[in-house]
């Protein structure tokens, strides 16, 4: 069988599995899973840098640079989204009430 057909089949099946896994994730687990995915994207970025740095082929260098750019954008975007989601769960600081005069709320004397 042709290698391209095998790789295309693996790719299509992984897309279907990925869609099914993502569809089943509850919103409560989304933020921790995003943080874990960001760590994985950091490893992917490091791997792309190492592989691209050790290549001698121009085509592999171009593909590696595209992979580095896309992995970096994906990782930074994931951290931005995670940070914004975590900000939704933080409590806002309360503004302290203005100090009142010693003479009372009306400002007059008794």
* pLDDT digit string, tens, across residues 21-53: 878 877 667 667 777 777 788 888 898 899 899
* CA neighbor of 47 nearest in space, from 19, 72, 25: 72
pLDDT at 108: 55
Given a cut of 90, whether residue 104 has pLDDT beyond it is no
Is residue 49 in some structural domain? yes
Is residue 8 in some structural domain? no
Q: Which domain holds residue 53?
A: 28-87
Is residue 99 in some structural domain? no
Q: Name the token pair of 21.
A: 């896994």
Is residue 51 in some structural domain? yes
- Kindly report, residue by residue over 58-98, the tens digit of the pLDDT: 998 999 999 899 889 888 888 887 788 778 777 777 777 77
C-beta of residue 75 within 8 angstroms of C-beta of residue 45? yes
Task: Note the pTM of the prediction, 2 decimals.
Answer: 0.54
Is residue 57 in some structural domain? yes
pLDDT at 94: 75
Let me know if 42 is exposed, middle or buried by CB neighbors in 10 A (0-12, 13-18, 19+): middle
Name the phi and psi angles at 90, rounded to 5.
Answer: -85, 150
Is residue 10 in some structural domain? no
Q: What's the total number of domains in the chain?
A: 1
Residue 2: left (phi > 0), alpha (psi -120 to 50), or beta?
beta
Is residue 34 in some structural domain? yes
Q: Name the token pair of 74.
A: 């994906």
């Amino acid at each position: 069988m042709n290698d391209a057909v095998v790789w295309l089949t693996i790719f299509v099946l992984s897309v279907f599995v990925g869609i099914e896994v993502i569809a089943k994730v509850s919103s409560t687990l989304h933020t921790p899973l995003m943080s874990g995915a960001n760590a994985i994207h950091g490893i992917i970025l490091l791997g792309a840098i190492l592989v691209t740095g050790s290549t001698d082929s121009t085509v592999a260098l171009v593909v590696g640079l595209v992979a580095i750019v896309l992995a970096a954008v994906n990782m930074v975007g994931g951290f931005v989204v995670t940070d914004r989601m975590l900000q939704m769960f933080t409590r806002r600081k309360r503004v302290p009430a203005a100090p009142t005069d010693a003479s009372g709320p009306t400002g007059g004397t008794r």
